[in-house]
Amino acid sequence: MTRKEIEDQIAELKDEYLQLQHNLEKLEYVKGDLSPLEKRLNVIEEELKVLNVALSQA
């Protein structure tokens, strides 16, 4: 994976993360089921950690 591809993937994940956080706030307000969004946020955080390590090594 090239440095540009890693940076693009990080940007996409950050965008998704922000959208999920916004949705999570809405669901919290209406007392919805938060667990699927929380799980996805955790997965994104782990993916970002891996990509940031790969970026630092690229």
What is the tens place of the pLDDT at every residue in 21-42?
999 999 888 988 889 999 999 9
- Residue span of the structural domain in which 12 resides: 3-57
Per-residue H/E/C for the chain: CCHHHHHHHHHHHHHHHHHHHHHHHHHHHCCCCCHHHHHHHHHHHHHHHHHHHHHHHC
Residue 44's CB: how many other CB atoms inside 10 A? 16
User: Band of the pLDDT at 6, cuts 50, 70, 90?
Assistant: very high
Quick one: pLDDT at residue 54? 96
Tokens 């090594």 locate to: 57
What's the rounded Cα separation, in Å, for the pair 25 and 22? 5
Quick one: pLDDT at residue 31? 85
Mean pLDDT for the chain? 94
User: Band of the pLDDT at 7, cuts 50, 70, 90?
Assistant: very high
Q: Domains in the chain: how many in total? A: 1
Q: What pTM was estimated for this model as a whole?
A: 0.86
